[in-house]
Amino acid sequence: MSENRNSRRPKSSVLHMAEDPAEMVSIIATDPEQVMSGQDAPEVLPLLPVRNTVLFPGVVLPVTVTRKKSIRLVRKAYRGNKIVGVLAQKNTQSDDPTITDLYEVGTMARILKLLVLPDGNTTIIIQGQSRFKVEEEQQDSPYLTARVSYFSETFPNKTSKEVKGLVSSLKDAAAKMLKLNPEIPQEAQVALDNIESPAFLTHFLSSNINVEVGLKQKLLEINDGVERGTRLLEMMLKEIQLLEIKHEIHNKVHTDIDQQQRDYFLRQQIKVLQDELGFDGPDQEVEKLRARAKDKKWPPAVAKHFNKEVDKLSRVNPQAAEYPMSVNYVEFLIDLPWAEYTKDNFNLKRTRKILDQDHYGLEKVKDRIIEYLAVLKLKQDMKAPILCLYGPPGVGKTSLGRSVAQALGRKYVRMSLGGVRDEAEIRGHRKTYVGAMPGRLIAQIKKAGASNPVIILDEIDKVGADFRGDPQSALLEVLDPEQNSTFTDNYLEVEYDLSKVLFIATANSLDTIHPALRDRMEIIDLTGYTLEEKTQIAKKHLWPKVLHENGLTPKDVSITQPALQRVVDDYTRESGVRGLERKLGSVARNIAKSKALKEEHATILEPKDVSRILGAAIFDRDLYQDNETAGVVTGLAWTSVGGDILFIESLLSRGRGKVTLSGQLGDVMKESAVTALSYLRSRADSLGIDYRIFDQYDLHIHFPEGAVPKDGPSAGIAIFTSIASVFTQRKIRSHLAMTGEITLRGKVLPVGGIKEKILAAKRAGIRDVILCDKNRKDIQEISAEYLKDLTIHYAARVDDVLKVALLDELVANPLKLTVRDEPAPALYGPSVEVS
Ligand SMILES: Nc1ncnc2c1ncn2[C@@H]1O[C@H](COP(=O)(O)OP(=O)(O)OP(=O)(O)O)[C@@H](O)[C@H]1O
Q: What is the pLDDT of residues 641-685, one digit of tens each?
A: 567 888 899 999 998 889 999 988 888 888 999 999 999 999 898
511-547 burial: b if 16+ Cβ within 10 Å, else e: eebbeebbebbeebebbbbbeebbbbbbbebbbeebb
* Closest C-alpha residue for ligand 1 atom 16: 396
Q: Ligand 1 pocket test: which of 363, 548, 577 has the largest number of ligand atoms within 8 Å of its C-beta?
A: 577
Neighbours of 50 (CB within 10 A): 24
Helices (H), 51-184: 68-79, 161-180
The neighbouring-strand residues paired with 496 are 487
Average model confidence (pLDDT) for the chain?
82
List residues forming the annotated binding site for ATP: 391-398
Residues having CB closer than 6 A to ligand 1 are 359-362, 393-399, 506, 508, 537, 541, 576-578, 581
pLDDT higher than threshold 70 for residue 471 = yes
Query: Residues forming the annotated binding site?
Result: 391-398
Stretch(es) of the chain classified as CATH 2.30.130.40:
4-226
User: How close is the Cα of 177 to the center of ligand 1, in Å?
Assistant: 81
Q: How far is the CA of 153 from the centre of ligand 1 (A)?
A: 105
Q: Which atom of ligand 1 is nearest to the CA of 508?
A: 25
Query: Among 324-338, 427-441, 463-477, 584-598, whose mean pLDDT is lowest?
Result: 463-477
Indicate which atom in ligand 1 lies nearest the CA of residue 361: 1
Answer yes or no: are the C-beta atoms of 228 and 200 closer than 8 Å: no
Q: What backbone torsions phi and psi does residue 506 show, to the nearest 5 degrees?
A: -125, 150
- Counted residue by residue, the chain has a size of 835
CATH level 2 (architecture), domain 531-614: Orthogonal Bundle (1.10)
Task: Give per-residue pLDDT as tens, 63-84.
Answer: 888 888 888 888 888 888 888 9
Residue bearing the bigger pLDDT, 573 or 738: 738
243/236 Cα distance (integer angstroms)? 10
What's the pLDDT band for 835 if we cut at 50, 70, 90?
low
Pocket test for ligand 1, best of 356, 398, 416 (most atoms within 8 A of CB): 398
Question: Can you name the residues that pair with 558 across neighbouring β-strands?
Answer: 604
Q: Where in the chain is the domain with CATH 3.40.50.300?
A: 348-525
Mean pLDDT of 676-701: 90
Q: Which atom of ligand 1 is nearest to the CA of 526?
A: 21
For 204, residues 6+ apart whose C-beta sits below 8 A from its C-beta are 15, 26, 28, 32, 56, 58, 59, 195
The per-residue b/e assignment along 560-585, b for 16 or more CB within 10 angstroms, e otherwise, is eeebbbbbbbbbbbbbbbbbbbebbb
Evaluate whether 445 touches 340 at the Cβ level (below 8 Å).
no
Q: What is the dihedral of CA 255, 257, 260, 266, to 10 degrees?
A: -80
pLDDT value, residue 157: 66
C-alpha to C-alpha distances, 503 to 374, 455, 507, 600, 783, nearest whole angstrom? 16, 5, 13, 50, 28
Residue of 216, 366, 755, 757 with catalytic role: 757
**C-alpha–C-alpha distance, residues 226 and 199, integer Å:** 9
pLDDT above 70 covers a percentage of the chain that reads 86
Instruction: Quote the ligand 1 centre to 792 CA distance (angstroms).
Output: 30
What CATH number has the domain spanning 4-226?
A: 2.30.130.40
Using alpha carbons only, what angle is made at residue 449 by residues 446 and 450, rounded to the nearest 5 degrees?
Answer: 110
Q: How many C-beta neighbours within 10 Å does residue 697 have?
A: 21
Distance 504 CA to ligand 1 centre (A): 15
What is the C-alpha to C-alpha distance for residues 567 and 607, in angstroms, rounded to an integer? 8
Q: How far apart are CA 778 and CA 756, in angstroms?
A: 11
Are 125 and 148 contacting, i.e. CB atoms less than 8 angstroms apart? no
Give the atom of ligand 1 at the shortest distance from the alpha carbon of 392.
25
- Residue 12 contacts residue 188 (beta carbons within 8 Å): no
DSSP-assigned letter for residue 461 = G
Element (H or E) spanning 246, and its range?
Answer: helix 225-277
Strand pairing report for 736-738 and 632-639: parallel
Ligand 1 center to 395 CA (angstroms): 4
Q: Confidence band (pLDDT; 50, 70, 90) for 726?
A: very high
> Taken in order 64, 65, 71, 73, is the CA torsion positive or negative?
negative
- Confidence (pLDDT) at 465: 65
Res. 10: pLDDT tops 60: no
88-124 as b/e, with b when 16 or more CB fall inside 10 Å?
bbbeeeeeebebebbbbbbbbbbbbebeeeeeeebbb
Choosing from 26, 70, 451, 714, the catalytic residue is 714
- Start-end ranges of CATH 3.30.230.10 in the chain? 632-834
CA dihedral 274, 278, 284, 290 (to 10 degrees): -140
Region(s) of the chain under CATH 1.10.8.60: 531-614
Instruction: Measure 763 CA to ligand 1 centroid, in angstroms.
Output: 19
Q: Which amino acid is residue 816, in one-letter code?
A: K
Confidence of residue 384 (pLDDT cuts 50, 70, 90): low
Give 24's pLDDT tier (boundaries 50, 70, 90).
very low
With residue 458 as reference, give the H or E element that holds it: strand 454-458
CA–CA separation, 427 and 7 (whole Å): 74
The residue whose CB lies within 8 Å of the most ligand 1 atoms, and thus the one to mutate among 399, 530, 639, is 399
CA atoms of 716 and 751, how far apart (whole Å)? 10
Question: Does residue 335 register a pLDDT over 60?
Answer: yes
pLDDT of 217 reads 92
Please give the distance, rounded to the nearest whole angstrom, from the Cα atom of residue 88 to the centre of ligand 1. 104
Of 146 and 183, which is predicted with more confidence?
146
CA of 413 from ligand 1 middle (Å) equals 16
Distance from residue 283's CA to the centre of ligand 1 (Å): 52
**757 noted as active-site residue:** yes
In what helix (H) or strand (E) does residue 259 lie, and over which residues does it extend? helix 225-277
Going along 683-816, which residue ranges are E strands? 697-702, 730-732, 736-738, 741-742, 748-749, 768-772, 791-795, 806-810
CA distance 472 to 422: 10
What residue's CA is closest to ligand 1, atom 26? 393
Nearest-atom number in ligand 1 for the CA of 458 is: 27
Distance CA 310, CA 326 (A): 9
Q: Which of 94-103, 284-293, 296-305 has the lowest mean pLDDT?
A: 284-293
Which CATH number does the domain 632-834 belong to among 3.30.230.10, 3.40.640.10, 2.60.120.260, 2.60.40.10?
A: 3.30.230.10
714 catalytically annotated: yes
Dump strand ranges (E) for 557-667.
Answer: 558-559, 604-605, 632-639, 642-654, 659-662
Lowest pLDDT segment from 574-588, 618-632, 721-735: 618-632
* Ligand 1 atom index nearest CA of 399: 18
- 88-143: pLDDT as tens digits: 988 777 778 888 888 999 999 988 888 887 777 788 989 888 899 998 888 877 88
Alpha carbon of 412 to ligand 1 centroid (Å): 16
Residue 772 has pLDDT above 90, yes or no: yes
Could you tell me the fold of the domain covering 348-525?
Rossmann fold (3.40.50)
Q: From the CA of 533, give the closest atom in ligand 1.
A: 1
Ligand 1 atom, smallest distance to 358 CA: 4
Cα separation, 239 vs 346, whole angstroms: 88
- Ranked by mean pLDDT, the top range of 67-71, 103-107, 464-468, 480-484 is 103-107
Work out the pLDDT band at 276, boundaries 50, 70, 90: low
For ligand 1, atom 9, name the residue with the nearest CA. Answer: 396
Q: How far is the CA of 389 from the centre of ligand 1 (A)?
A: 12
